[in-house]
Amino acid sequence: MSTEKGNLSIHSENIFPIIKKWLYSDHDIFIRELISNGCDAITKLKKLELMGEASLPEDNKFKIEVIFDDKEKTLTFIDNGIGMTDEEVKQYINQIAFSGAEDFLNKYKDKANEDQIIGHFGLGFYSSFMVSEKVQIDTLSYKENATAVRWISDGGNEYEMSDSDKSERGTTITLYLGEDGKDFLNEYTVKNTIEKYCSLMPIEIYFTNANKEEEKVEDTDSEGEVKEPVEPTPLNDTTPLYLKKPNECTDEEYKEFYRKTFMDFKEPLFWIHLNMDYPFNLKGILYFPKLGNQFDTMEGQIKLYNNQVFVADNIKEVIPEFLLLLKGILDCPDLPLNVSRSFLQNDGFVKKISSYITKKVADKLNSLYKKDKESYEKFWDDINPFIKFGCLKDEKFFDKAKDIVLYKTTSGDYVTLPEYLERNKDKHENKLYYVTDETLQAQYIKMFKDHGMEAVIMNTTIDQPFISHIEMKEQEIKFARIDADLTDTLKDEDSSSEEENKELQEEVQGIFRKALNNENLNISIENLKSEDISAMIILPEESRRMQDMSKMYGMFGMDSAMMPSNESLLLNKKNRLVKYIIDNKDSENTNIFCEQIYDLAMISHKQLSPESMTKFIERSNKILEKLI
């Protein structure tokens, strides 16, 4: 053909603001787009061959090559796919935003599987102008007697077309990198970008450094013989594990895929393999890593793909927020992406995908609970923050997961909420006692155990909002921390009259307030079954939650050495030390004993301030000296 020059035709209904600068937010996207277009061209040719409309040689091997040349400042992308005629170049390249893939599908919609065509976004090729001062296309169509075509443009609205010397079927795109593309004159950057976006694409991708290739020709062994060239290996995995059926995959394959994809060498707890064809196409694997109690610092990674083309990490429109604690890959060819694949469209459809993923995760967890409860209990300490977060964030997930939420008890086993309430109904009906710190609250735990009672351990960041959520959903159930009140089970019979108890309380209140120099100190005295306990700190559950909320929002400030007015010091009437103080209120030891009892009770309730701890240690030494 004779050389042709002309202006690019921009359809008024497809105008985009200065493609080079604003179509794509990330410059490295051009690598994804050009390789995707190459995959698309090969996929089209495969379809034509299957339909008997194209004939290929027996030794044909489909591939994409990326050639890096930092000396010439070029990046070249080569595919051996369908290629283009001069008329197709005019139609698909010169007319911006006129999609070749869309036209192909319209022609072969009754024969071709639309889900397997990647490049139906239309403008991917033009992303190359973000980094190039000139772009050259050399293409040869698969059609018999086709003539190779060369197309050149410097990124303006002008182009030049002529015959090309290309002799092999397919398309070669050469980018002459400009100032905006200087970062891609680094081999590591290019290979890393290919790995980022294209590591799971369905056609093998090979990378060549043109200058290093020249050096390899002269590579010889110790005897001067030229070495056999090393067989190149593709940069990508064309058949990722998630494309297989779950029953075709082994546990080791799942673990290896996890290690390779996320560079995490800690084994996942378990995984969910998603494989759905209707009403939309969705495949993927979600892995449950160990979360433990580090929920607030845990960051998962869900990679979203579209026909094996990487789109983005952690897209919240598709992936429910609570699932972002997991790691995994989701591939959904039906995703309604915009032209740059950066944003999702069609909220209703996306919500259906999100709901499906939520359902599958809940179903998997329920299945594991019912079929292998022993393993489920082993996983529970690691996965419970995730499940509780899901219950808080997603109503449908809560409905499916509420019956498999476990509570680890101070007895050492795992129970559901109904199981806990049933086996403790004779001691405290519809109330669930919990522990936030097994060490700090050890005295309370022991007291409970001594009287055949148990609490559940709730020591993760998510537990407080989860407790409130359960109380809202199950209004007849109330939670109380183990030091929130004193149950009747822990009290012993008391023969004293109400008036006698009132007088005694006023007496000990005066003694302790004077000894501690705190006129606002709340004091109560009870007959506890255990004689070993001298005193306890009681803080009503409602007051604690108000304090926690105030601290969270920065509204609560107080010297921690001072007892807040809603905290009470409960004294045990049966304890020998308490009896001594009552009987010897004027003794020289009374004040120091009162201070020690108070601090011992407080230590089991919360951490002492540095000043209070210093005084406690000094006082303990003085008491020991009295024993000498």
Q: Are 15 and 129 in a shared domain?
A: yes
Residue 262 within a domain: yes
| Structural contact between residues 146 and 152, judged by C-beta atoms closer than 8 angstroms | no
Single out the residue in 375, 396, 422 at which a domain terminates: 375
Single out the residue in 332, 359, 375 at which a domain terminates: 375
Residue 95 within a domain: yes
Q: What would the two tokens of residue 44 be?
A: 């089209």
Residue 141 within a domain: yes
Q: Are 471 and 601 in a shared domain?
A: no
Span 192-211, mean pLDDT?
94
Q: Are 319 and 368 in a shared domain?
A: yes
- What is the CATH number for 601? 1.20.120.790
Burial of 522 (0-12, 13-18, 19+ CB in 10 A): middle
Mean confidence (pLDDT) of the chain: 83
Which position has the higher pLDDT, 445 or 25?
A: 445
Residue 543 within a domain: no
State the pLDDT confidence band at 238, using cuts at 50, 70 and 90: very high
Which position has the higher pLDDT, 100 or 628?
A: 628
pLDDT of residue 241: 96
Q: Whole-angstrom Cα distance, residue 623 to residue 601?
A: 17
The yes-or-no verdict on residue 230 having pLDDT over 80 is: no
Q: Whole-angstrom Cα distance, residue 162 to residue 187?
A: 32
Single out the residue in 489, 521, 548 at which a domain terminates: 489
Q: Are 59 and 82 in a shared domain?
A: yes
Q: Are 162 and 306 in a shared domain?
A: no
**Amino acid symbol at 367:** S
Q: Are 93 and 109 in a shared domain?
A: yes
Coil, strand or helix at 226: strand
- Helix locations, 276-372, DSSP H: 347-371
Coil, strand or helix at 285: strand
State the pLDDT confidence band at 490, using cuts at 50, 70 and 90: confident
Q: Are 503 and 602 in a shared domain?
A: yes
pLDDT of residue 451: 85
Coil, strand or helix at 105: helix
Tens digits of residue pLDDT in 441-484: 888 898 888 888 899 999 988 899 999 999 999 989 999 999 88
Tens digits of residue pLDDT in 139-167: 999 998 999 999 998 876 678 999 999 99
Length reported for the chain: 628
Number of domains in the chain: 4
Q: Are 480 and 532 in a shared domain?
A: no
pLDDT of residue 301: 86
Q: Are 420 and 352 in a shared domain?
A: no
Residue 437 within a domain: yes
Helix then strand then coil, in percent of the chain rounded to 5, is: 40, 20, 40
pLDDT of residue 2: 67
Residue 400 within a domain: no
Of 234-243, 342-351, 412-421, 433-442, which range is least confident? 342-351
The CA radius of gyration of the chain, in Å to the nearest whole number, is: 36
Q: Are 257 and 358 in a shared domain?
A: yes
Q: Whole-angstrom Cα distance, residue 415 to residue 477?
A: 16
pLDDT of residue 228: 65
The yes-or-no verdict on residue 215 having pLDDT over 60 is: no
The yes-or-no verdict on residue 616 having pLDDT over 60 is: yes
| Angle made by CA atoms 447, 450, 455, in degrees to the nearest 5 | 60
Tens digits of residue pLDDT in 293-320: 555 445 678 898 888 988 888 777 778 8
The continuous run of DSSP H or E covering 385 comes out as helix 373-393
Q: For residue 170, which of 141, 202, 201, 130 has the smallest C-alpha distance?
A: 141
**DSSP-derived pairing of the beta strands 158-163 and 149-153:** antiparallel
The yes-or-no verdict on residue 614 having pLDDT over 80 is: yes
Q: What are phi and psi of 323, to 5 degrees?
A: -75, -10
Coil, strand or helix at 83: coil
Residue 533 within a domain: yes
pLDDT of residue 8: 55
pLDDT of residue 221: 61
Residue 234 within a domain: no
> Which domain covers residue 68, as residue numbers?
4-217
Q: Are 500 and 480 in a shared domain?
A: no
- What is the CATH number for 368? 3.30.230.80
State the pLDDT confidence band at 193, using cuts at 50, 70 and 90: very high
Tens digits of residue pLDDT in 367-424: 999 999 999 999 998 888 889 999 999 999 999 999 999 999 999 999 999 999 999 8
Q: How many angstroms separate the first and last alpha carbons of the chain?
A: 113
Q: Are 211 and 247 in a shared domain?
A: no
**Amino acid symbol at 103:** D
Evaluate if pTM is beyond 0.85. no
